[in-house]
């Protein structure tokens, strides 16, 4: 990552190796985050069999989708060296991408997986608030709602930023 972002190199092979390592590390990190969130959601539901099977299946499908789409992303890109034609105005790595409409599938898979998790967590949170009279429950979910408001208000900026980053 440091070679790719912080330093210039003239070798297209170096750029490709660093970039592919970075996208695989990001994919593995994303899958690990989903595992943690799903385990948290299963614990929140008291290991209900339906929720465990639903989230386990969703995790399997989403992980396979991320792995396949990451592999396809690695295939559809190539790099040009510093002195390859056409010459670049600045030195360093130049990533080139072929048209690949399935790359948007990465975002679709993530949104679908997160939507199911958010719905399950909201349903359980509403049950907790209705059943409990403790102040800590109201404080906890009040904080969560405050954070959700900040995120929802930031969505337009996130979407416009994501469209810039999307191939």
In a domain, 45, yes or no: yes
Domain that holds residue 71: 2-131
13 — pLDDT class (breaks 50, 70, 90): confident
* pLDDT at 115 exceeding the cut of 80: yes
pLDDT of 152 strictly over 80: no
Half-sphere exposure of 117 (CA within 13 A, CB side): 23
- If one compares 72 and 140, the residue with the highest pLDDT of the two is 72
What's this model's pTM, rounded to 2 decimal places? 0.67
Greater confidence (104 vs 37) lies with 37
Is 75 domain-assigned? yes
State yes or no: cis peptide before 158, omega within 30 of 0: no
Contact between residue 98 and residue 80 where contact means Cβ atoms under 8 Å apart: no
pLDDT tens per residue across span 53-107: 998 998 998 889 888 888 888 787 777 766 667 666 666 677 777 776 666 766 7
Q: To which residue do tokens 């997160």 refer?
A: 114
Percent of the chain with pLDDT over 70: 66
Residue 140 falls inside a structural domain:
no
Kind and range of the H or E element at 18? helix 12-44
- Per the structure, how many domains does the chain have? 1
CB 47 within 8 A of CB 53: no
Residue 25 resides in a domain: yes
């Amino acid at each position: 990552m440091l070679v790719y972002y912080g330093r210039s190199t003239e070798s297209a092979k170096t750029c490709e190796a660093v970039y592919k390592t970075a996208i695989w590390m990001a994919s593995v990190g994303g899958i690990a985050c989903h595992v943690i969130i799903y385990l948290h959601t299963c614990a929140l539901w008291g290991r209900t069999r339906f929720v465990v099977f639903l989230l386990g299946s969703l995790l399997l499908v989403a992980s396979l989708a991320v792995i396949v789409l990451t592999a396809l992303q690695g295939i559809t890109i190539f790099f040009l060296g510093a002195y390859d034609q056409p010459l670049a105005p600045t030195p360093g790595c130049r990533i080139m991408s072929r048209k690949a409409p399935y790359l948007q599938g990465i975002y679709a898979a993530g949104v679908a997986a997160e939507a199911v998790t958010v719905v399950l967590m909201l349903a359980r949170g509403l049950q907790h608030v209705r059943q409990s009279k403790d102040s800590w429950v109201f404080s906890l979910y009040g904080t969560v709602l405050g954070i959700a408001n900040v995120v929802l208000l930031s969505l337009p900026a996130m979407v416009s930023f994501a469209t810039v980053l999307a191939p």
